[in-house]
Amino acid sequence: MSKIQPAKGSPYARILGVGGYRPIRVVPNEVILETIDSSDEWIRSRSGIATRHWASPEETVAAMSVEASGKALADAGVAPEQIGAVIVSTVSHFKQTPAVATEIAHRIGAVKPAAFDISAGCAGFGYGLTLAKGMVVEGSAEYVLVIGVERLSDLTDLEDRATAFLFGDGAGAVVVGPSAEPAIGPTVWGSEGDKSETIKQTVPWDEFRAKDTAEKFPAITQEGQAVFRWAVFEMAKVAQQALDAAGITADDLDVFIPHQANMRIIDSMVKTLKLPEHVTVARDVETTGNTSAASIPLAMERLLATGAAKSGDTALVIGFGAGLVYAATVVTLP
């Protein structure tokens, strides 16, 4: 018989608060058109994006995360010293080590929490949320801070007509804590590594270091049509699986918060899932662009701040991107 004592966590976990930070600089399509041969109409029709935010040198990955985290903590009514773990999802923190989560934890005033980074691209928030739920239920942390943050302007090739207009910067954070009832459903997640070449960094860091310094800095590139088809057809299936796992139907939903990759993808998923008209759909991509791991919490924060969604609403969230990886779950909004 095992001598290990059972975990003493909460029976369930929930999102208690959300916060977001968007850089001060707003970049319209006209700026993007200075370096690519395109038009505002073409960009809007293909992506739905009109503007995006780009960070200044002072708006670092850590600095944006601290701002978003402070808002999430205040929204949740949780003090920094109560945070038992900090999980940061990002692909644009350029220090291999230490994890930026440790710096953020220190700057917000958390006291010796577990702190680590994860790299799961645009599905990163879902991955972090799932890990946080497990920690709270298992009892290794009472409250967990989950952050999605990107400075994708640092990884954007402004001469690449297919991607120059897509990416933006920002940070979104949530506090996950104990709940007396189910408020974060089972996660449907996975990867399709055979499609890893469809979204990737153009040049690995070691190859970049070995080349002439005049070599163009590494950037994110993608095979647009392949990614579009995968997102629209395969991710709609994953979203439906998440609804099934939570034991609800599309009619039970109040809100749909997909990764803000592209307006056409969002609209196509809504149609494929046959979402009722009463379901509020996040379309933050229009003014924020694709912020990868930050896009879902940023969209969630904006929906709640504007009153388009309200506390207690049932929301389906799904992230998908480079890997290719994906994660979907149903949550109760804070």
Catalytic center residues: 122, 259, 290
Q: State the virtual CA torsion across 147, 11, 318, 236 in degrees, nearest 10.
A: 170
Assign residue 76 a region: left if phi > 0, alpha if psi is -120 to 50, beta otherwise?
Answer: alpha
d(CA 156, CA 183): 37
The Cα-based distances of 281 to 163, 309, 317 in angstroms read 24, 9, 10
Task: Provide CB contacts within 8 A for 326, sequence distance 6+.
Answer: 123, 126, 188, 189, 190, 191, 234, 235, 238, 318, 319, 320
Radius of gyration for the alpha carbons in the chain, expressed in angstroms and rounded? 19
φ/ψ of 267, rounded to 5, equals -65, -40
Length of the chain: 334
Interhelix angle 61-76/100-108, rounded to 10 degrees, is 50
State the Cα–Cα distance between residues 213 and 224, nearest whole angstrom.
29
C-alpha distances out from residue 234 to 101, 140, 241, 253, 318, Å: 32, 34, 11, 20, 12
